[in-house]
């Protein structure tokens, strides 16, 4: 039996942490609660979690200190990390945006020309300026970028926006999108030289795919009079053929189907009108296609 274990870097505390741990649990990977330790081995899968500052994760993965990592795409591209992009994870979406004082009347990027911009993302900011053919003074600040205009350090800021609360609280308004981000799984290029690590990563990706497949689906169970079964099948937006099981009463059947979550309320009245009863809607953790 192989002793190979994967080291997975996860943000210690922040916008990525909870959803990443939730994803791992849905992948059937069980580990102790609490992110106050640096290093947490999983109990039932050869993976060890390393809790790190998100800003450090791309470099640690690049240098193979961690084999894989979950990080914001913004952080990884900003760091120009030489890593492999294994998967978009679809959560912790946010935007890197140019923003300015509420009273600013700017409507095109060209009007930023010659101004001073404070940011924690100088590379992404410079990419944006270059692609718009403008030049600005870019001041790199590691935190609390949103107060730099009121301190007179900069005219504009380029910062992450998720709910927009931070901008509003600082009397700033969003101006232009610079970069769209979400959580991504990255891997060290050295993994390619290690077949055992590669196959553990394959297994993890397979499980993550099954969680993603399940995310927008629900399992619908109901009882239906036999004479309505044909109509029920027409109404159900089922992903695959529903399961029909005869009930002991001889007149009705149990119908089980995987449906898109957002369709439930559209079809429920129609199903009831043809006699559906005992309707249950259950969450699904995994779908293996
Ligand atoms: C970002 C950003 C803002 C805030 C925006 O910081 O710098 O402060 O989130 O979010 P909102 O639009 O929901 O108010 P974050 O907490 O990610 O810290 P970090 O950049 O240091 O990782
Ligand atoms: Zn950070």
* Predicted confidence (pLDDT) per residue in 232-279, tens digit: 999 998 767 899 999 999 999 999 999 998 889 999 999 999 999 999
Ligand 1 mean position, distance from CA 146 (Å)? 9
At a CB cut-off of 8 Å and minimum separation 6, what does 125 contact?
A: 117, 119, 138, 158, 178
Count of other CB atoms within 10 angstroms of residue 160: 20
How buried is residue 78: exposed, middle or buried, by Cβ count under 10 Å (0-12/13-18/19+)? buried
CA–chain centroid gap for 42, Å, is 21
Neighbours of ion ligand 2 (CB under 5 A): 54-55
Does the structure show a pLDDT above 90 at 161? yes
Does the structure show a pLDDT above 70 at 193? yes
Helix 17-26 × helix 195-215 angle, to 10° = 100
Ligand nearest to the CA of 56: 2
Ligand nearest to the CA of 159: 1
Does the structure show a pLDDT above 60 at 93? yes
The reported pTM is 0.86
């Amino acid at each position: 039996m192989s002793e190979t274990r994967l080291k997975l870097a996860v943000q210690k505390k922040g916008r990525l942490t909870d959803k990443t741990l939730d994803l791992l649990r849905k992948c059937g990977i069980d580990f102790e609660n609490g992110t106050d330790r640096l290093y947490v081995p999983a109990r039932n899968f050869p993976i060890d979690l390393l809790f790190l500052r998100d800003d450090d994760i791309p470099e640690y993965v690049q240098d193979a200190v961690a084999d894989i990592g979950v990080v914001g795409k913004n952080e990884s591209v900003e760091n120009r990390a030489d890593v492999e992009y294994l998967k978009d994870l679809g959560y912790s979406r946010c935007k890197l945006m140019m923003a300015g004082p509420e009273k600013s009347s700017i409507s095109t990027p060209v009007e930023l020309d010659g101004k001073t911009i404070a940011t924690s993302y100088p590379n992404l900011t410079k990419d944006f300026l270059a692609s718009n053919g403008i030049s600005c003074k870019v001041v790199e600040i590691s935190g609390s970028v949103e107060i730099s205009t009121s301190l007179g350090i900069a005219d504009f800021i380029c910062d992450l926006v998720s709910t927009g609360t931070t901008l509003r609280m600082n009397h700033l308004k969003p101006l232009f999108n610079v970069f769209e981000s979400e959580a991504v799984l990255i891997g060290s290029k050295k993994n390619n030289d290690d077949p055992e690590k590669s196959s553990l990563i394959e297994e993890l990706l397979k499980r993550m795919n099954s969680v993603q497949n399940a995310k927008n689906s629900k399992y619908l169970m109901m009882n239906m009079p036999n004479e309505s079964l044909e109509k029920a099948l027409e109404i159900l937006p089922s992903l695959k053929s529903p399961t029909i099981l005869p009930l002991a009463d001889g007149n009705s059947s149990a119908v089980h189907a995987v449906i898109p979550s957002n369709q439930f309320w559209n079809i429920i009245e129609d199903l009831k009108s043809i006699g559906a009863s005992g309707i249950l809607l259950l969450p699904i953790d995994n779908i293996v296609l």
